Amino acid sequence: MIYLIVDSSGFGGIESHIQQLAILLQSKQADLEVVYLQHYPSHPQYTELEQHQIPYRFLSESSVTSFFRQLKADDIVHAHGYKASVLSRCGRLLAPYHLVTTFHAGEAVSGKLAFYEWLNRYTSAFSYNLAVSEKIKTDLPFRCELLRNFVHCQNAIDSRSRHSTLQVGFVGRLSHEKAIDRFVSLSTQLPYIRCHVFGDGDQAGMLQGRPVIWHGAVPAMEPYWHRLDVLLITSRAEGMPMAALEAMAHGVVVLSTDVGEMPTLLDQECLVAEAHWQDLAARVKDLDNAGDEAWQRLSERQHQLVKKHYSGEACWQQLARIYRMV
C-alpha cells in the first residue's frame, strides 16, 4: 500500500503534485490512499480526489500513533511538506515501513517556518529524499534524488486558436516570492491585452483598481486553462512550478523569469533575466504582434516538450524504481 501524506489547508503546488502522483499511481493499478494530518473544511482537493475515486482519510492527534504503528514492512509512506515529512520519520520508530519524502519549497523562509525547514532538512538522513528542482536538491545535506514535477499530458492537444484579444494570466499565491506586484506592473504596460489573476494571498490588495480580472482562488485550473493564451511567471524564486507544466500541457504558452528550473523547461526566447523582469512586457507584445500561427507553433512546441520530459509516463520508470529501492 502507498500512503501519500500531507498537511494541507489549501490548493497549491504541493497539492497539485499529489493530485498528479495519485492519478498516475491509480493508472498503474497501485493501492494508494491520500492521508491528511488534519481536516480543513471546504478544502478543494477532497472533491478532486472523489471525482477520480481516489481514497483519502484524515488523522486526528489521537490517531497518528496508531496509524503509523499498523503499517507493514512492504508499505510505502510518501510524505510531502515539512510537517508530514518530520512526523513520518518519527513514525519509523513504531514500524519498519519504507519512507520517501519530497522537498518542494524553493523560496527562502524566515521565523518559525525557517526552523521547521531546518528540522526537515536535517532529519532527512532518515528517509529516501526527492527534490523537485536541482537547487532544492543541492541545498539538502543528505542523499537526495531529483524527481521533477510532472503532469498528465494528452497525446495531442485540442486544436484551438488564440483569442482575438490576447489573454494573459498569473496563477499562484499572491505573494512576494511569486511577484504578483510585478504582474500588476506589467498589466499596466499591456493596455491592448487582457490580464487575469487566479489565486489569493497576502498581497491581494495590490489588485484593487488595477487593469486585471481577479478570479480568486479556484479549486483547480483544469476548467480555466482554455481562457488563457499565455501564462506569465514573474517569480523571484521558484522550483519547477506545476502551473507552468499544466499550462503547457493544455497548450497555453509560458513566458517566465529565469528562476529555479525554468531555464531547463523553456527556450531562451521565452525567458528573461529575473533582474530584468520588465522585459516580459516586450515578450508578450512580440507574441501578440506575431499573430495566431506563431502562437500556435510555440504552443505545440511547448506541449511536445512537456509530453516528452515532464509527463507522468515519462517519469514513471524513475518513480517505480524509487519505490522499489527504498
- pLDDT one-digit tens code per residue, 215-249: 998 888 989 999 999 999 999 988 788 999 999 99
Q: Band of the pLDDT at 133, cuts 50, 70, 90?
A: confident
Q: What is the pLDDT of residues 102-121, one digit of tens each?
A: 998 766 667 788 898 899 99
Q: How many helices (H) and strands (E) does the chain have?
A: 12, 13
Q: Judge whether 36 and 108 are in contact, CB under 8 Å.
A: no
Residue whose C-alpha cell reads 480580472 in the numeric block:
213
Distance, CA of 125 to CA of 128 (rounded, Å) = 8
* Phi, psi dihedral angles at 22 (to 5 degrees): -65, -40
Share of the chain above pLDDT 90, in %: 74
Fill in the DSSP letter of residue 258: S
Mean pLDDT of the chain: 91
Q: Cα 117 to chain center, whole Å? A: 18
Distance, CA of 102 to CA of 286 (rounded, Å) = 38
* In the predicted structure, residue 72 carries a pLDDT above the cut 80: yes
Say what the pLDDT of residue 237 is: 87
Distance between first and last Cα of the chain: 14
What integer is the mean pLDDT of 5-25? 89
Q: Judge whether 206 and 227 are in contact, CB under 8 Å.
A: no
Q: What is the pLDDT of residues 160-202, one digit of tens each?
A: 789 999 999 999 999 999 999 999 999 999 999 999 999 998 9
- Which domains does the chain possess? 2-150+311-325 (3.40.50.2000), 167-309 (3.40.50.2000)
DSSP 99-143: EEEEE---S---THHHHHHHHHHHTGGGSEEEESSHHHHHH-SS-
